[in-house]
Amino acid sequence: MATPCLLDPAAEELKLTGGSTATDVARTARTLLGERFDSESFMYVLMRAYAVDFHAARDASRWQGFGSNPRALSDADLEVLLAPWLATN
């Protein structure tokens, strides 16, 4: 994971431009973070931008957008998981 101070600007930008759905947020995070995009940096920006709790952010880090993993979350699963935080923003 990149140093948190390098991720904070991406978290701020994500909060402003992330989109209305969890998959929009995840794809925007991937664009904002570029080569720094990995499961840990995604967790960090979710927690900073949307105040997602640690356990939910950790689960979101298993999103299928990180590659093939038998325990990967589908887009639909990610939507359900992050709905409580995205609905308040």
Predicted TM-score (pTM) of this structure: 0.85
| Digitized pLDDT (tens) for each residue of the chain, 89 residues in all | 556 677 889 899 999 888 889 999 999 999 998 888 888 999 999 999 999 999 999 999 999 987 777 888 999 999 999 999 998 76
Cite the DSSP H helix spans in the chain.
4-17, 22-33, 39-50, 54-60, 75-86
